[in-house]
Amino acid sequence: MDAASFSRDGVHFAADPRGALFAGLGAIVPGQRETARLWVRNDGPSPLVIRVNATQVNVDDDDYAEALSLRATTTLQPTGDLMTFATTESCFMLLGEQYIQPGAAIPITFRLTMADVDGSVAQSSTAGATVAVGLRDATSPWLDDAECDGDGAHLPVLGDPDPEPTPTTTPTPPATPEPEPTASVGPTALPAPAGASGPTAPSGDSLSSTGTDAITWLSASVALIAGGVLALLLPYRSRRRRTP
């Protein structure tokens, strides 16, 4: 029924309450008493009627079934019927009809108790049950066999302890291979042509040799030869002028 919403704290309401009434309770010991609350709010335009039942009751130890009990109460019904987990009823009424006006919300208090029995009773035993909060419009009758299976909310009474969070593993990105070093290539000097003579051409970035070098060598040779001939002729001419 969309006209109702539920809450565990009386502040945050939702159409479907999730989780067990006594979630994360763990092992129950003799003499232990636990309390849980469930708020029901009427979001519709007309009055609602609620009824609280317990169904699907199961236990694996008779002594544990007799020692464990559940009760539901409200401010208008402070003494709801006590149900032990040894009940044989398939749909046990915990709380009778109660009206909720439009826009109003009421808290239902659930009390789970284990009797103060000997500590060795029902060790490692388990029990379970489901609470059914039935809803109907105030102008409509209850449907046959719908007290536990009709419109409303169905919550497990007991649940497993809160599971530990699964650690998340951050994936390691694949290693990026480093590039192999590349050998640097410098300028390569070209070999001199075969049979070349004269000064060796400089390497690197200097200017290359041109034809001016050959002209310079020729001029120097001519100058040396001319100087030698003059040196020979001058003494000869002088000697001839002195001959009578």
CB-CB neighbours of 131 under 10 Å: 26
Q: Look at the chain and report how many structural domains it folds into.
A: 1
Q: Is the pTM of this model over 0.85?
A: no
Q: Domain for residue 102, yes or no?
A: yes
CB-CB neighbours of 12 under 10 Å: 10
Domain containing residue 116: 4-156
| DSSP string computed for 158-200 | B-PPPPPPPPP-PPPPPPPPPPPPPPP----PPPPPTT--SSP
Q: Where are the beta strands (DSSP E) in the chain?
A: 4-7, 33-42, 48-59, 68-73, 83-84, 91-100, 105-114, 127-137, 152-156
Mean pLDDT value across residues 192-200: 47
Q: Domain for residue 244, yes or no?
A: no
Mean pLDDT value across residues 65-93: 93
According to the model, what pLDDT value does residue 217 have? 47
Q: What is the CATH number of the domain that holds 92?
A: 2.60.40
Dmax (CA) for the chain in angstroms is 178
Q: Domain for residue 212, yes or no?
A: no
Q: Domain for residue 10, yes or no?
A: yes
Element of type H or E holding 65:
helix 62-67
Max avg pLDDT among 84-93, 180-189, 201-210, 228-237: 84-93
Q: Cα separation of 103 and 47, whole Å?
A: 9
Average pLDDT, the chain: 75
Cβ atoms of 145 and 161 within 8 Å: the answer is: no
CB-CB neighbours of 75 under 10 Å: 10
CB-CB neighbours of 158 under 10 Å: 20
Residue 56 has pLDDT above 90, yes or no: yes
**Token pair listed for 244:** 């009578």
What is the Cα gyration radius of the chain?
A: 56
Beta partners for residue 5, in sequence order: 41
Closest CA to 55 of 160, 158, 156: 156
Q: Cα separation of 48 and 139, whole Å?
A: 9
Q: Domain for residue 128, yes or no?
A: yes
- Residues 107-160 have pLDDT tens digits of 999 999 999 988 777 788 899 999 999 988 888 776 655 567 777 889 999 975
Q: Domain for residue 57, yes or no?
A: yes
Q: Domain for residue 22, yes or no?
A: yes
> What sign does the CA torsion over 31, 35, 36, 37 have?
positive
Confidence of residue 27 (pLDDT cuts 50, 70, 90): confident
Q: Domain for residue 44, yes or no?
A: yes
Determine the residue type at 40: V
